[in-house]
A and B are shown apart, each in its own frame.
Chain A
Amino acid sequence: EDQVTQSPEALRLQEGESSSLNCSYTVSGLRGLFWYRQDPGKGPEFLFTLYSAGEEKEKERLKATLTKKESFLHITAPKPEDSATYLCAVPRDSGYSTLTFGKGTMLLVSP
């Protein structure tokens, strides 16, 4: 069974204090890993797809990386508007695009 574990569960940063979020997974035949951002009471917003180990993608202050067993979401010089829950997900072994999500990391950036 696919397992997706995110750590830490919650993270509090000062504005400008860089850090990383972790997503580790156990799935056979990885077909991609997705990162989403979710604001309270809203739907998840797509950030990145990583398809293979070694791949990196960037968007503003966010950079996602992928190894064979985990992915990191690096946040550089965060701002209060980066506060959200960050979710990672992998496609299930069923072969179709049904995603297994981690429980997320709740990030709070204080000014």
Chain B
Amino acid sequence: DSGVTQTPKHLITATGQRVTLRCSPRSGDLSVYWYQQSLDQGLQFLIHYYNGEERAKGNILERFSAQQFPDLHSELNLSSLELGDSALYFCASSASGGAWETQYFGPGTRLLVL
């Protein structure tokens, strides 16, 4: 158990809908990262938050947004969902966000868009 929690574990929804994925980092960690994993693309970095502020963006679509709250939990919002958004979504956390830090991953949310 990494100490990172994610809810829900599974999510089934329809195209065009909006969903929210939630992540709680390990105790004491200030950085949260979101990743998307699909069969053909592998694990892709989406976005990084540090202590409530956005630090870096990766391959995140404009239909996707995220935020980190004062209690350090983070939410990833996915809107106008398409079939191709079906994937595993992981969040990870690290102490402060330096390039040398280990990221600890949560168990993931499996999203299926029908």
A107 near B: Cβ within 8 Å?
no
Interface of B (DSSP majority class): strand
Collect the chain B residues with CB atoms within 8 Å of residue A43's CB: 2, 4, 90, 92, 105-108
Say yes or no: A31-B56 contact (C-beta < 8 A), given A44-B90, A97-B94, A103-B42: no
B90 CB to closest chain A CB, in angstroms? 5
Q: Spell out B's residues near A (CB within 8 Å).
A: 2, 4, 31, 33, 42-45, 48, 55-56, 58, 88, 90, 92, 94, 97-108, 110
Residue of B nearest to A46 (CB): B102
Range of interface residues on A (Cβ < 8 Å):
20 to 34
Collect the chain A residues with CB atoms within 8 Å of residue B43's CB: 44, 87, 89, 101
Say yes or no: A46-B99 contact (C-beta < 8 A), given A102-B42, A104-B42: no
Say yes or no: A98-B33 contact (C-beta < 8 A), given A49-B100, A91-B100: yes
Q: Spell out A's residues near B (CB within 8 Å).
A: 31-32, 34, 36, 41-46, 49, 51, 87, 89, 91-92, 94-104
